[in-house]
């Protein structure tokens, strides 16, 4: 699989700069939804290359739970795969990302054109306020907001990590549903490693979670994702 992984990364990185330039110019000329569809086209083709070369496929259950109106997308975070794939399920999407990502030449510049919400993880209180404030603004503008409430990529062998509460506060304040998503991508696209393990990634999309109590919303999402993760592993 090492040779297959190297071939995949050759394709991945050789196309990254050209598509980043296309996204940047697209954001100037076209709507944000069109621009995100352009980036989504590249993502889907990269994942098709992953399937063809590294024999990593995926299946999605619960797509009928994906709403057409603004919502919060909450998922576990174990590697790069879900950061890419989930952008294709919900359009337009505004993702919560580390501000350092925007400093990456071309790729970071392209990401900045997709209207993300950047945070400084070293300043947790400020980050919480920023997510609630800008997340609310994005919702009003018609965006889905993607949050990985574990805060950082975890070890898939250790299950689901502790969730932050910003998405519960945001959902309660703006009366929007939370769509919980669980996957096991970390078993196949191993984080911080060239290694790839062939197999089929399971993705489960849960029913919308609503309410007025931020903690109850967060707890329900956590428990559903935790239980679903145990079921697919």
For 103-161, write each residue's pLDDT tens digit: 999 999 999 999 999 988 777 778 788 888 999 999 999 999 999 999 888 889 899 99
Please tell me the predicted confidence (pLDDT) of residue 128: 80
Chain mean pLDDT for the chain: 93
Please tell me the predicted confidence (pLDDT) of residue 130: 87
Please tell me the predicted confidence (pLDDT) of residue 195: 83
Topology annotation, domain 2-232 = Glycerol-3-phosphate (1)-acyltransferase (3.40.1130)
Structural domain boundaries of the chain? 2-232
Calpha distance 55→58 (Å, rounded):
10
Please tell me the predicted confidence (pLDDT) of residue 153: 86
User: What is the radius of gyration, based on Cα positions, of the chain?
Assistant: 17
Calpha distance 115→92 (Å, rounded):
10
% of the chain at pLDDT higher than 90: 79
pTM of the model: 0.92
Closest CA to 148 of 215, 203, 82, 89: 82
Residue 233: pLDDT band with limits 50, 70, 90: confident
Closest CA to 184 of 198, 204, 161: 204
Q: What are phi and psi of 26, to 5 degrees?
A: -65, -35
End-to-end alpha carbon distance in the chain: 22
Which token pair is 90? Answer: 């919900």
Please tell me the predicted confidence (pLDDT) of residue 123: 76
């Amino acid at each position: 699989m090492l040779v297959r992984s190297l071939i995949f990364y050759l394709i991945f990185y050789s196309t990254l700069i050209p598509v980043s330039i296309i996204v940047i110019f697209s954001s100037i000329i076209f709507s944000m939804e069109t621009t995100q569809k352009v980036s989504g086209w590249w993502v889907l083709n990269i994942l098709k290359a992953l399937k063809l070369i590294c024999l990593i496929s995926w299946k999605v259950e619960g797509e009928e739970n994906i709403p057409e109106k603004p919502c919060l997308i909450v998922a576990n975070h174990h590697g790069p795969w879900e950061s890419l794939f989930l952008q294709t399920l919900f359009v337009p999407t505004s993702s919560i990302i580390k501000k350092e990502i925007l400093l990456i030449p071309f790729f970071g510049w392209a990401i900045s054109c997709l209207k993300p919400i950047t945070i400084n993880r070293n300043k947790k209180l400020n980050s919480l306020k920023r997510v609630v404030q800008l997340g609310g603004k994005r919702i009003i503008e018609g965006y889905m907001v993607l949050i990985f409430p574990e805060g950082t990529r975890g070890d898939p062998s250790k299950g689901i990590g502790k969730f932050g509460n910003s998405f519960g506060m945001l959902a309660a304040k703006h009366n929007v549903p939370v769509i919980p998503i669980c996957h096991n991508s970390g078993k196949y696209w191993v984080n911080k490693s060239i290694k790839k393990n062939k197999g089929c990634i399971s993705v489960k999309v849960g029913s919308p979670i609503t309410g007025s109590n931020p903690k109850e919303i967060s707890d329900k999402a956590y428990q559903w994702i935790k239980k679903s993760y145990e079921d697919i592993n």
